[in-house]
Structure 1
Amino acid sequence: MILIGLTGSIGMGKSTTAAMFREAGVPVYDADAAVHDLYDTGGAAVGPVGEAFPGVVRDRKVDREALRQAVLGKPDELKRLNAIVHPLVGSDRIGFFAKAEADGADMVVLDIPLLFETGGHVNVDAIVVASAPAGLQRERVLARPGMTPERLDAILAQQLADAEKRARAHFVVDTSRGLEPARIQVAEIIAAMRDPQTRPARDR
């Protein structure tokens, strides 16, 4: 099975790009959604995260804003959180792979915001980065409820720069040109990955 890693900084259109892969019939694993389930009531991360970060569990689920405050700008704390959550996400992903294989999928997309930052890029056959100009990125993100320039800058400080992501990608989807051009780019990526002559070597 072909593994495609999809990533992109906040506000770059990664979720929209993931939806286009789904529309094209490619199963997509949403790491953010998996983490949300792990943090929700009954989720496997609630207990260990609550023990590691006292006060972030409220009403029997992880308060994501409280947890964000507990790790934002604190690399060691973020590393401690990742050590708890990443193995749980990995277990969840195994179930996704099993279902995709049973359904006869020839490729899957792993939608992982921190694909490079967590080292996950070494485990995929190709890397797709959703990207847009920085001005458009800020416009999109600052339009979100509760977002501030300071919070955006803090989030970006934890993410690999967009220019570096694009330089390390096999494919870049430019989300600034509208939905239909992006959809065409996604279709071209799928076709390239299905053709052994155009499929990139795993070299990054």
Structure 2
Amino acid sequence: MKDNRKIAITGGIGVGKSYVCSLLDVRGIHVYDCDAAAKNLIAQNKSLQAELNLLLGKDVFINGIFNKHVLAQFLLESDDNRIAVNSIIHPAVANDFISSGYNWLESAILFDSGFNKRIALDKVICVTAPDEVRISRIMLRDNISRGRALEWINKQMPQKEILSMSDFEIVNDGIANLEEQIDRILSIIK
């Protein structure tokens, strides 16, 4: 796609957004990874580091290395904490995306963070998966308990709500053919 339309890939934790993005990459569609960008900005942007230090305390950076476990615990403690962190990180990520030259982005928390209001999006594609599949993927990927995986799922907007605000759905349940679903959507939006 050679135009300037902005298209987002979204969906909750464990649905397989990164895998879908890798299939898009093979098709010549490069997707801006909001999570990776946030980590990169946190590692390099001194003003972001200072703001996170003020909010989270000195343990968030140990010898200059970001301690993601401190952030994860802080985020799980309350919605107010999540909102406070998002208000620091998301403007920086949105500005980085706008200046990046990318037309596609991937964000797990596109709607619940309000990130969709920072960038004018033309289309939104929601990747979905059954909860049990998501739980298994999260447990395997992050080496965490079932309870912790459920905690993360429950901290995010419900899958049905995300889907209701999206233009397209890609079902990533390990059964449906992802390639066919992606090609069908691409044929519609091109």
- What's the CA shift for 1:155? 0.9
| Residue in structure 2 matched with residue 186 of structure 1 by the alignment | 182
Q: Which residue in the other structure is 2:10 paired with? A: 7
**Alpha-carbon distance between aligned partners in 1 of 2:24 and 2:15, rounded to the nearest angstrom:** 16
Runs (4 or more) in structure 1 with deviation over 4 Å come to: none
Shift of residue 121 of structure 1?
3.4
Match of 1:81 in 2: 85
1:139 partnered with 2:136: yes
Q: Tell me the SS of whatever aligns to 2:188.
A: helix
1:26 match: 29
- Distance in 1, Cα, partners of 2:165 & 2:94: 23
TM-score w.r.t. the length of structure 2 is 0.88
Structure 2 distance, partners of 1:46, 1:121, is 24
Contact 1:8 1:165 in 2 (8 A): yes
In 2, the alpha carbon distance for the partners of 1:116 and 1:171 equals 15
SS of 1:52's equivalent in the other structure is: helix
Match of 1:92 among 83, 92, 96: 96
Is the contact between residue 31 and residue 89 of structure 1 (CA under 8 Å) also seen in structure 2?
yes
Separation in structure 1 between the aligned mates of residue 83 and residue 132 of structure 2, nearest angstrom: 30
Cα shift at 1:145: 4.2
Question: Is contact 2:83-2:113 (8 Å) kept?
Answer: no
Note the alpha carbon deviations across 1:71-103, whole angstroms, 9 max, x for none.
Answer: 313111221111111111122112212xx4xxx
- Give the residue type in structure 1 aligned to 2:45: G
- Computed over aligned residues only, the root mean square deviation of the Cα atoms, in angstroms, reads 1.8
What is the aligned partner in structure 1 of residue 105 from structure 2?
A: 110
1:18-43 alpha-carbon deviations (Å, 9 max, x no partner): 11111111121100010110222x33
Please give the alpha-carbon distance, in whole angstroms, between the structure 1 residues aligned to 2:144 and 2:77: 17
Query: Structure 1 unaligned runs (5+)?
Result: 101-107, 195-204
Aligned length: 183
**Is contact 2:15–2:172 with CA below 8 Å preserved after alignment?**
yes
Structure 2 segments unaligned to the other structure (5+ residues)? none
Aligned to 1:198: none
Alignment-mate amino acid for residue 144 of structure 2: M
Q: Percent identity?
A: 23
Distance 1:22 1:39 in 2: 25
**Within 1, Cα distance between the matches of 2:160 and 2:16?**
15
State the one-letter code of the partner of 2:12: S
How far apart are the structure 1 equivalents of 2:45 and 2:148? 27
Q: Contact 1:128 / 1:171 at 8 angstroms: preserved in 2?
A: yes
Whole-angstrom distance in 2 between the partners of 1:169 and 1:110? 14
Letter of the structure 2 residue corresponding to residue 96 of structure 1: S
Shift of 1:178: 4.8
Q: Secondary structure at the match of 1:118?
A: coil
Q: Deviations over 1:51-71 (max 9, x none)?
A: 221121112132111111123
